[in-house]
Amino acid sequence: MTDTKQPIADLDKMTDNEVTVFQLDGQPVRGRAVHLGEALNDALTGPKGESRYPDEISRLLGEAMLIGALVTQALKFEGRLVVQCHGTNDGAVSLLMADCTTDGAIRGYARWDDAKLKETKLDNRNPGAEALLGGGTFSMTIDQGPDMDQYQGLAAIQGERLSDCAQHYFEQSEQIPTEIRLAVGQVQEAGSAPSWRGGGMMIQKIADDSARGDTQEAWDTARSLFGTLSDAELIDPDLSQNRLLFRLFHEDGVRIVETHKVSGQCRCSKERLENTLKSFERDALEDMAEDGTIKANCEFCATDYIFKLSEL
């Protein structure tokens, strides 16, 4: 983690896969920004670089991972945040899941129905969150470990992007005025294959108090500037976070508070899975086995594990 109070224009260029916490100078507005490059591309593609999901679902899952990366760094303890979207029977996507830890490990996966996706695209060539999920619920679950209770907040799936759902969640569950922008897309740099990139930014209004007085005007100004942010700016590989923040908020001043690294890491383990299988009764293991082996696949990273029944 990097901690600094320098003006943002004085900072060196930030790298991808990093969450930046920032503060508008003298204003009741704090925010976070994230750029995901390799960390996102690894989650959305297979070992040979092939896409694991249709493009529409890749973009939606990427948005869930961006939300997870942004919100997790606000937690004041070691643990993880799980962003989930459960679709309805009318939707092509039944589940989206982004799993993010406070030390920066991020992973995600999605479940969908090909036939329903084709039907959805007949009516809408570029379906968004509400169309793909058919409504349903958006949730964020905070997990502080096995000895602590989990906390979960829910909101309805509304809007074309998951940023709409996240904003609704904060306004409903946290009662914090929040603005969020997300963008996910493929970019191709010279001499390289297309790769997935994502960018996100959120700003929140700090609660009123007697020292600050009325903060609504300052918040409205910040929202207006934030509203000029484009998708192209969020995923531009040549536009660093500090330059983007300076472009948006240089008139009032913006400072970096701290930065956090993010990496695409899956926590699956052959040893852990083997121990789980060994807890099953023999009859159950035999039902799962085929030709004397049990095959298991991690939905997050698509790693295949093979176990011999005789060893279990």
Q: How far is CA 89 from CA 123, 157, 207, in A?
A: 17, 14, 40
What is residue 15's predicted lDDT score, i.e. its pLDDT?
67
CA 70 to chain centre: 7
pLDDT tens digits for 208-256? 655 556 678 889 999 999 999 999 999 998 888 889 999 999 888 899 9
What is residue 1's predicted lDDT score, i.e. its pLDDT?
44
With b for 16 or more beta-carbon neighbours within 10 A and e for fewer, the 16-40 pattern comes to: bbbbbbbbbeebbbbbbbbbbbebb
Instruction: Please name the fold of domain 2-264.
Output: Hsp33 domain (3.55.30)
pLDDT tens digits for 157-190? 988 899 999 988 888 877 888 999 999 999 887 7
- Residue 47 clears pLDDT 80, i.e. is over it: no
**Angle 244-249-62 (CA atoms, 0-180°, nearest 5)?**
40
Domain 270-311 part of CATH 3.40.640.10: no
What is residue 40's predicted lDDT score, i.e. its pLDDT?
93
What is residue 5's predicted lDDT score, i.e. its pLDDT?
45
Average pLDDT over residues 3-20: 61
Mean pLDDT value across the chain = 86
- Residue 4 clears pLDDT 60, i.e. is over it: no
Residue boundaries of the structural domains of the chain: 2-264, 270-311
- Residue 301 clears pLDDT 90, i.e. is over it: no
The pTM (predicted TM-score) of the whole model is 0.86
